[in-house]
Amino acid sequence: MRKLLKYFKGYKLESILGPLFKLLEASFELFVPLVMAQIIDVGIKNGDMGYILRMGGVLVLLGVVGLTCSLTAQYFSAKAAVGIGTMVRNDLFRHINTLSYREIDTIGTSTLVTRMTSDINQVQSGINLVLRLFLRSPFIVFGAMVMAFTINVKAAMIFVVTIPLLSVVVFGVMLISMPLYKKVQRQLDQVLLATRENLLGARVVRAFNRQKDEAERFDQENALLVRLQVFVGKISALMNPVTYVIINGAIIVLIWTGAWQVEDGIISQGEVVALVNYMSQILVELVKLANLIITISKALACANRVSSVFAQQTSIADRGSLEGAADAGAEEAVKVEFRDMNFCYAGAKEPSLSGISFKALKGQTIGIIGGTGSGKSSLVNLIPRFYDATQGTVLVDGRDVKDYSLSALRQKVGMVPQRAVLFKGSLRDNMRWGKEDAADQEMYEALDTAQAREFVDDKEQGLDLMIQQGGKNLSGGQRQRLTIARALVRRPEILIMDDSASALDFATDAALRKAIREHTRDMTVFIVSQRATTIKNADQILVLDDGKLVGLGTHRELLDQCEVYREICLSQLSEEEVRQ
């Protein structure tokens, strides 16, 4: 929570003026019972209509001035709350983008979305109410008690007993409800997770006819959220009736005491009415304070959740300073090298990759093949430092990848991820993710190489073709070809294609591989694939099995030396095709 206090620095003036104007409003409100006492004791008692009207005008004036102060306080409070919420949201989004895949995998996407939206909105509402009411309500409560002492000390002792009793109730409910609100927010994460999985996997759910099962799972998660909310709501709801009972009991005692004092001539009838009004003010303010405490409880729980994300530091430390290109050397210079590398995911008991050592030369095409879960994607994700090796070293241009700045390292790499992701906007906007200042001609050349030019021309919009969120208006193969083109437009030194042609037919796949070989002669290309035909013509082929490098060589070498590779090939191709 303390980490979020720094955001108030940009709104110091608003954070001071908001409560200040609320205190001014409260001060004018405390004078109202005294004016009413004068109207009763002087105006009504003496039948002086002029005096009653004059004092009525004072009441109207106090109301207008109080309303003006209230609106001014609301303006400054809202400005500070919205401004702070915006700053926190921007910084949290920026911070999340600094986290590595390891932290995002650990925290979970649904949790991050909840904290970016629901949690920060709760914090924003809490700040607004705190600036408006946190000082005002206690000020009126204790101010009413002080004003009661100016009227009659004996009657004011009722206030002395009532206020501590009310404080115990209010803060007791707060201490019980705060941990419960944390549970509510955690369960909200689970509901969001179930919703997100169903929306993203809607086709899979329907393909396996699991709509009913998923609806039941969502109902269970949602029902648990409702039960938690109802339980904590019941505890919070106790606050209002208990405070009403205490306050009304105090008013009864006050009227009974005041009646005897009026009878004895100690205080006037107007003063009794003023004391009752002060007690009523305390009741109203404590109800507001009770609701404020509930909101603060939620806001503090949410603020701690947001702070925990800020406290999460990336495991990929960007301490490198190297920015330069590779040293000018021989044509056969080593571009990428793995030296006895081991890698283990966070929380995993066994390494996903172990004992990996190989060299990829400049201009070479490296094929990577293996069974599902053998570590193919994990291996290529280590080159641009999406993850860091647990042991061993990954080198690019003879330098440890940790010695590069992240921006410089990733500028060398063109990444085509396993899942084709496009963003809402024009094709030109999407292509410029690869190179911000790319000319149209460069984009068309990349589209030609990626075998995407034909279908783009068929749509007759060129680079102005509008792409919906996630590329939903394109087929799977079209999305894959556009993501390949986006990586190629950068002209990277290292191109990584992580099973990015799986949706292409064999003819298009073959044309794509041929075009990449012809147009990327100086580029080191890593091709991850399940298809033997896709990688059989690579300069080197890495064969992975259960996280270990069990084969390294050309297609013909591996057919003779690697049983795993031979089995993969024979499972997909005939004996004659394998030997071609």
Over residues 237-253, mean pLDDT: 81
Amino acid at the residue 31 = F
User: What is residue 404's DSSP assignment?
Assistant: B
Task: Residue 77: name the closest of 135, 1, 19, 2 by CA.
Answer: 19
> What whole-number distance in Å separates Cα of residue 316 and Cα of residue 207?
39
> What whole-number distance in Å separates Cα of residue 225 and Cα of residue 189?
10
Task: Residue 1: name the closest of 301, 313, 314 by CA.
Answer: 301
| Helix (H/G/I), strand (E/B), else coil: 374 | coil
Contact yes or no for 166/175 (Cβ under 8 A):
no
Q: Can you say how many angstroms the Cα of residue 431 is from the centroid of all Cα atoms in its chain?
A: 27
Q: What percent of the chain has pLDDT over 90?
A: 16
Task: Residue 95: name the closest of 310, 400, 415 by CA.
Answer: 310
Q: Which of 274-283, 326-335, 341-350, 390-399 has the highest mean pLDDT?
A: 390-399
pLDDT of amino acid 383: 92
User: What is residue 326's DSSP assignment?
Assistant: P
pLDDT in tens, 483-517: 999 988 988 899 999 888 777 888 888 888 888 88
Over residues 98-113, mean pLDDT: 81
Task: Residue 313: name the closest of 22, 47, 99, 1 by CA.
Answer: 99
**Which residue has better confidence, 429 or 580?**
429
Q: Report the chain's terminal Cα–Cα distance, integer Å.
A: 66
Over 90: is that where the pLDDT of 197 sits? Answer: no
Q: Residues 574-580: contacts with CB within 8 Å, 24+ apart? A: 578/532
Q: Which of 36-45, 81-90, 117-126 has the lowest mean pLDDT?
A: 36-45
Over 50: is that where the pLDDT of 173 sits? Answer: yes
> What whole-number distance in Å separates Cα of residue 53 and Cα of residue 39?
9
| Helix (H/G/I), strand (E/B), else coil: 556 | helix
Contact yes or no for 535/541 (Cβ under 8 A):
yes
pLDDT of amino acid 317: 74
Contact yes or no for 123/81 (Cβ under 8 A):
no
Amino acid at the residue 35 = V
Q: Work out whether strand 540-545 and strand 548-553 pair parallel, antiparallel, or are unpaired.
A: antiparallel
| Helix (H/G/I), strand (E/B), else coil: 158 | helix
Residue 436's CB: how many other CB atoms inside 10 A?
7
How confident is residue 360, by pLDDT bands cut at 50, 70 and 90? very high
| Helix (H/G/I), strand (E/B), else coil: 385 | coil
pLDDT of amino acid 97: 85
Contacts of 191 (CB under 8 A, 6+ apart): 218, 221, 222, 225
Number of residues assigned to the chain: 580
Positive or negative CA dihedral for 484, 486, 492, 496? negative
CA distances to 355, 368, 509, 534 from 554, in Å: 20, 11, 20, 13
Task: Residue 332: name the closest of 361, 304, 365 by CA.
Answer: 361
Characterize 440-472 residue by residue with b for buried, 16 or more Cβ atoms within 10 angstroms of its Cβ, and e for exposed: eebbbbbbbbbbbbebbeeeeeebebebeeebe
> What whole-number distance in Å separates Cα of residue 477 and Cα of residue 473?
12
Contact yes or no for 267/151 (Cβ under 8 A):
yes
Torsion angle in degrees (nearest 10) through CA of 136, 157, 280, 37: -100
If you average pLDDT over every residue of the chain, what do you get? Answer: 85
> What whole-number distance in Å separates Cα of residue 552 and Cα of residue 537?
14
User: What is residue 327's DSSP assignment?
Assistant: P
Contacts of 454 (CB under 8 A, 6+ apart): none
> What whole-number distance in Å separates Cα of residue 301 and Cα of residue 211?
34
Over 50: is that where the pLDDT of 238 sits? Answer: yes
Amino acid at the residue 174 = M
Location of structure tokens 């507001």:
288
Over 60: is that where the pLDDT of 327 sits? Answer: no
Axis crossing angle, helix 153-200 with helix 211-237, rounded to the nearest 10: 170
Over residues 326-347, mean pLDDT: 75
Characterize 332-371 residue by residue with b for buried, 16 or more Cβ atoms within 10 angstroms of its Cβ, and e for exposed: eebbbbbeebebbbeeeeebbbbebeeebbbbbbbbbbbe
Over residues 27-43, mean pLDDT: 85
Location of structure tokens 């997770």:
193
Strand ranges in 158-216 using DSSP code E only, listed in sequence order: none
